[in-house]
Amino acid sequence: MLSRTVGLTLVNLHSKLYTSPMIEKIADIAHNCKHIVVLTGAGISAESGVPTFRGKEGLWGKFRPEELATMDAFMSNPEIVWEWYNWRRELMWKVQPNLGHDAITNLENLSDKFTLITQNVDGLHKLADTKNILELHGNIYRNKCVSCNTIIEETVEIQPDAIPSCQKCGGKIRPDVVWFGEMLDEQIIQKAFEDSEKSELFFSIGTSAVVHPAASLPVAAKERGAVLVEINMEATPITPIADYFIAGKSGEILPQIVALIKEKRSI
């Protein structure tokens, strides 16, 4: 195959892969390490058509987080909150994983030990067949009781003007996502820190790295000696501590890294 594209995109000449020295270096580190952790944010799903939160086109440019993504907002206006979540569910239901999600699955298959930590609630990593996933901020398709936290696994369509009540305690049903001011699932966040701190190579991909505790994970990994790689369209608060920062789209960069690891494995 003879193909050539410009910039950071893959250049494949006579089946030998040529790419940037930085990507080459990262692939080399990945090839030689035992434990990789990947943290993703909304940016990984942007190329699938899921809106991000921050930035010009982000959801928080059009909607106020405190009116939609807090318990206070839900208690004072559950109909509006459900309308917003129904709109997002519908949007997410229609989209497919992109090349970035697929590359992460390939990276997992090429790794001895691999953990994917995602802040996303869209379920696209699962759909792309990544196996070891920690969902930090819940899942938009799951519901739970606002009072007793009973999980309602099956996707029930919620009518905003007739929000169902919990069969156990009568509390209102809400989406099982983590809103501002709410604690993350203790076991999930503990495992996320444990794996991050044990990792040799940590990728922070498509996250603005401003929401905690998720944004502390790359810092914790780096402090314990991991090589920190950031892939994002723009710099973030963690860029200054990253060993490698690649400015670009995850759906274009990640497949290059995976292709190079595969090439190294077949040598």
Chain positions contacting Zn ion, by CB under 5 A: 145, 147-148, 150, 166, 168-169, 171
Residue 249 interacts with ligand BJW (CB under 6 A): yes or no:
yes
Instruction: Residue 78: name its binding partner from Zn ion, ligand BJW, none (Cβ under 5 to 8 Å by kind).
Output: none
The DSSP bridge pattern shows strands 11-13 and 35-40 to be unpaired
Distant-in-sequence, close-in-space partners of 85: CB < 8 Å, separation ≥ 6:
140, 158, 175
Q: Which is nearer to ligand BJW, 5 or 32 (CB)?
A: 5
Q: Rule CB under 6 A: which of 43-82 touch ligand BJW?
A: 43, 46-47, 52-55, 58, 69
Does 137 participate in catalysis according to the annotation?
A: yes
Contact pattern for ligand BJW over residues 110 through 149, marking x by CB under 6 A: ---------x-x---------------x------------
State how far the Cα of 57 lies from the Cα of 158, in Å rounded to an integer: 27
The pair of structure tokens assigned to 8 is 């950071």
CB of 214 to ligand BJW, least distance (A): 6
**Closer of 121 and 242 to ligand BJW (Cβ):** 121
| Residues 95 and 249: beta-carbon distance below 8 Å | no
- Per CB under 6 A, the list member of 13, 148, 169, 210 interacting with ligand BJW is 210
From residue 130, alpha-carbon distances to 6, 64, 159, 194, 206 in Å are 30, 32, 32, 20, 17
183 binds ligand BJW (CB under 6 A): yes
DSSP letter for each residue of 224-253:
TT-EEEEEESS--TTGGG-SEEEES-HHHH
Secondary structure (3-state) at 15: coil
204 binds ligand BJW (CB under 6 A): no
Q: Which is nearer to Zn ion, 69 or 145 (CB)?
A: 145
Name the one range near ligand BJW by CB under 6 A: 1-9, 31-39, 152-160, 206-214: 206-214
Strand ranges of the sheet holding 16-18, from the earlier edge strand across to the other edge: 2-3, 11-13, 16-18
Q: What does the angle CA 84 – CA 206 – CA 231 come to, to the nearest 5 degrees?
A: 175
List Cβ neighbours of 147 (8 Å cut-off, separation of 6 or more). 166, 169, 170, 171, 172
Closest CB 109 distance from ligand BJW, rounded Å: 22
Catalytic residue among 14, 31, 125, 137: 137
Residue 31 beta carbon to ligand BJW: minimum distance, rounded to whole angstroms: 23
* Minimum distance from residue 186 beta carbon to ligand BJW (Å): 11
**For ligand BJW, which residue of 164, 181, 225, 237 counts as binding (CB under 6 A)?**
181
Beta-carbon contacts of 65 under 8 Å, excluding residues fewer than 6 positions away, are 53, 180
What are the residue numbers of the active site? 137
Binding site for ligand BJW (CB under 6 A): 41-43, 46-47, 52-55, 58, 69, 119, 121, 137, 177-183, 206-208, 210-213, 231-234, 236, 249-251
